[in-house]
Structure 1
Amino acid sequence: MSWDQLTAFAQSSPLLSIAFAGLTLAVIFTEVKHRLSGIAGLSPAQATLLMNREDALVVDVSPAADFAKAHIPGSVSAPLADLDPEKHKQLSKAKERPVIVTCRTGMSAHGAAAKLKKAGFTKVSVLDGGLAGWRQAEMPVGKGR
């Protein structure tokens, strides 16, 4: 596509062009924010290693109904809407343990991980791609509570 074609498209479809530019900026902003947060992103293979070698706690911040449908085996449910590290029994005991935060797609997990870090958790990371990435890597999935 030439520059002239791109310019012609932008002139003929200004709303689409503005929407595209806005979405592009939002994605760039989100990525930069995540990279500067100091919270590592882990692939499913890296998360599995951390779970097996360092007894990492996997915290799923998806709504309880979504958690019941599918989750990483051994993970604990701590819905983002109710996330309070001090009141959650398993979380309150895990401040020194590695914690891997996940959700359906990996988007909500970053906010939850920042909240845990602010609450004094020292080893917090996020599963890249969330449960969708976990499934794509053909890792096992549990159901129920």
Structure 2
Amino acid sequence: MYMQEIIIFLQQHTVLSIVWILLLIATLYTTISSCLFKSSEILRDQAILLINKKKAIVIDIRSQDDYCSGHITNSINVSIKDIKNNNICKLKRFKKYPLIVVHDNNSLAHSIKQHLYKLKFEEVYVLHGGIVDWKSDNFPLLLTNKILK
């Protein structure tokens, strides 16, 4: 009985039904992906602890101009294109170290994290909030041998 009413409703309100289904899918996708991504994101304090205790390597995937305008101390600038094309000569010696991926856009950083896992890097994290939050919290950045605050 209820099934017939649902079918009639769907037939009479096709556009509304499609919009509702799309919103349901978008909500489920967002919820599931945020749960998956949160587990691999680390806060700035955790990143500093990893860098100091486990010698983690910070991988800055922003453009070279953005990197030169201010980057985290001892970070390595690697282009997104190089990582996606498996051209990672700069990184091969760091396979056993934890990596912290940094960018302005965390969803892009998460996709690069997945590429690095496929390339057999063992421990990869994304810095929560990226370089934007790092700057806004007044953590130091380097600019061609000068420290910016």
The code of the aligned residue for 2:108 comes to S
Contact 2:58 2:101 in 1 (8 A): yes
Partner Cα separation in structure 2 for residue 30 and residue 68 of structure 1: 33
* Corresponding residue for residue 124 of structure 2: 124
TM-score, reference length from structure 2:
0.71
* Corresponding residue for residue 4 of structure 2: none
Contact 1:100 1:127 in 2 (8 A): yes
What whole-Å deviation, never above 9, does each CA across 1:54-107 have from its counterpart, x for those lacking one? 000000111111111111111000111222585333311111110000112423
* Corresponding residue for residue 44 of structure 1: 44
Partner Cα separation in structure 1 for residue 107 and residue 87 of structure 2: 24
Q: 1:137 to 1:131 in 2, by over 3 A?
A: same
CA RMSD of aligned residues (A): 2.8
Contact 1:61 1:108 in 2 (8 A): no
Partner Cα separation in structure 2 for residue 85 and residue 39 of structure 1: 26
How many aligned residue pairs are there?
Answer: 125
Is 1:143 paired with 2:139? Answer: no
Percent same amino acid among aligned pairs?
Answer: 27
TM-score, reference length from structure 1:
0.73
